[in-house]
Structure 1
């Protein structure tokens, strides 16, 4: 990649990959469903004191 190609552009270049491509290449997501994400979020909130109970 030649970063100088992007000189003068207002936005930093980004790489966009579909989740299907990542999975085909062997990538495994840490969470399998939204419930796991919410559970970890609540646990984090309680640990840091953001959530009072």
Structure 2
């Protein structure tokens, strides 16, 4: 997925996506001026920040 799709999918700003790349939170490829993400890397990011729901009483 390209950067625009990633931003829309995650509901984040361009700046947040840049910070996540700079911090190494998400791997990416760059071809020319375009940024791309593997879906497996997006899934990994989401899995690493997954929180189970709290059990309700």
Work out whether the TM-score is over 0.5: no
More strand by share: 2
Q: 1 or 2 for the larger relative contact order (CA 8 Å, sep ≥6)?
A: 2
Greater C-alpha radius of gyration: 1
Length-normalised TM-score, structure 2? 0.29
